[in-house]
């Protein structure tokens, strides 16, 4: 057991830390368009310095970083409160899927603009009637003229209004069993058959959109994998999504805890025994989250796949972040509901944590069935 960084890992961290101290553009501007432009420029800066697509192989313009280096990167970005990247979905899902399942032509066409944020990607998986039961989706694609005509509706699509490409899963064979009749498309968002409508969430902002497709066209060369293989291709992207996020979220929670302790001090509640209990518990859980993520990483490096504990961090993170923001509201007392800069937004936004990227209920099912080997529940 050795929880220290190797000299190479340390060098990677120091170099990154120093680079971030010089180049971190700091606080994002308010206003959705300005913010997006800001994130786009930030990603370009990272790309120029070789920090975009960290996990991607070097031959595709990435850095070929180890899992540890990726973890260090996510930790440092969170620690220095660096802004988010514009093309997160392209980087963690789109690129890796094209690399794993794409044709040489697709790799040539799509990968570089993902890294530089010239082309933004979004993900069209969920539908109004297909959330956790993704494979039941109804959007259909019909063969036509060297390609496919797509009709249906997608929802919870982050950055759809900024995106050039949508990773879209649609049903190409309505007679096949539900997991078998799906195909994975890269759909051009800039066409008449695609309409995007913002979805206003409980915070009042619109991070997400609905997409309506009416005979939207995708040429054959933009199918990833074989027709009918869409489920397997999609699963790769979902696993990529969960693997990378644990470390950044562990640090983000620690930073939020720091803010929470500032709030406790501002209110002169350091000695309140109940507050101390709740803060102490949150601190322990946040540290345990980080340690579970590291154990998962070690196991992944050894066995190639995440071990049982690798499935826990997302669930843990949502529990902790919700409890943390609720405690902040409790501490603010009667004025808690009044809108402030720090807490009311976080408090409301945290309600989505146990739904987005796999609901807590689905994560528990996965652990029960695939880790503990309990019988399937349906």
Residues with a catalytic annotation lie at 241
Compute the Cα dihedral for 16, 22, 24, 26 and give only its sign. Answer: positive
Task: Give 5-52 as a 3 state SS string.
Answer: CCHHHHHHHHHHHHHHHHHCCCCCCCCHHHHHHHHHHHHHHHHHCCCC
Nearer to another protein, 223 or 320 (CB): 320
Cα separation, 85 vs 121, in Å, equals 12
Nearer to another protein, 4 or 145 (CB): 4
**Do β-strands 121-124 and 165-171 pair in parallel, antiparallel, or remain unpaired?**
parallel
CB of 310 to another protein, least distance (A): 10
Nearer to another protein, 1 or 339 (CB): 1
Nearer to another protein, 329 or 362 (CB): 362
CB of 305 to another protein, least distance (A): 15
Name the nearest CA neighbour of 113 among 133, 92, 87: 87
CB of 7 to another protein, least distance (A): 12
CB of 224 to another protein, least distance (A): 33
Q: Is 79 exposed, middle or buried (0-12, 13-18, 19+ CB in 10 A)?
A: middle
CB of 283 to another protein, least distance (A): 5
- Residue 309 near residue 299 (C-beta atoms within 8 A): yes
End-to-end CA distance of the chain: 41
Contact residues: another protein, CB under 8 A: 1-6, 9, 68, 257-258, 261, 264-265, 268, 270-271, 273, 275-277, 279-281, 283-285, 287-288, 291-292, 294-295, 297-299, 302, 308-309, 312, 315-316, 361, 363-365, 367-369, 371-377
Q: Is 7 left (phi over 0), alpha (psi -120 to 50) or beta?
A: alpha
Nearer to another protein, 186 or 260 (CB): 260
């Amino acid at each position: 057991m050795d929880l220290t960084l190797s000299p190479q890992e340390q060098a990677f961290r120091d170099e990154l830390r120093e680079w971030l101290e010089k180049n971190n553009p700091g606080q994002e501007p308010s206003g959705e368009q300005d913010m997006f432009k800001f994130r786009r420029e930030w990603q370009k800066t990272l790309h120029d310095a070789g920090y975009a697509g960290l996990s991607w192989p070097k031959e595709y313009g990435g850095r070929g970083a180890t899992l540890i280096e990726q973890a260090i990167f996510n930790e440092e970005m969170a620690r220095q409160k660096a802004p988010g990247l514009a093309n997160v979905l392209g980087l963690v899902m789109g690129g890796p899927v094209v690399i794993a399942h794409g044709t040489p032509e697709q790799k040539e066409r799509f990968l570089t603009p993902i890294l530089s944020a010239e082309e933004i990607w979004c993900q069209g998986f969920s539908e109004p009637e297909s959330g956790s039961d993704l494979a039941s989706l109804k959007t259909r694609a019909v063969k036509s003229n060297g390609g496919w005509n797509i009709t249906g509706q997608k929802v919870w699509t982050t950055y759809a209004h900024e995106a050039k490409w949508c990773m879209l899963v649609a049903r190409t064979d309505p007679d096949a069993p539900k997991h078998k009749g799906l195909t994975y498309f890269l759909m051009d968002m800039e066409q008449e058959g695609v309409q995007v409508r913002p979805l206003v969430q409980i915070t009042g902002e619109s991070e997400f959109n609905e997409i309506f497709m009416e005979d939207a066209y995708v040429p054959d060369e933009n199918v990833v994998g074989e027709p009918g293989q869409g489920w397997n291709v999609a699963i790769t992207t979902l696993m990529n999504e969960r693997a990378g996020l644990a470390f950044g979220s562990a640090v983000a929670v620690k930073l939020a805890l720091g803010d929470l302790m500032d709030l406790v001090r501002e209110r002169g509640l350091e000695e309140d025994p109940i507050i101390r209990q709740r803060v102490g518990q949150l601190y322990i859980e946040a540290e345990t989250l980080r340690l579970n993520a590291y154990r998962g990483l070690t196991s992944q490096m050894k066995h190639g796949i995440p071990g049982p504990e690798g499935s826990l961090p997302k669930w843990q993170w949502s529990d902790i972040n919700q409890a943390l923001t609720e405690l902040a509201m409790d501490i603010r007392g009667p004025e808690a509901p009044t809108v402030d800069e720090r807490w009311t937004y976080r408090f409301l936004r945290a309600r989505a944590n146990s739904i987005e990227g796999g609901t807590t209920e689905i994560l528990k099912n996965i652990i029960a069935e695939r880790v503990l080997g309990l019988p399937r529940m349906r």
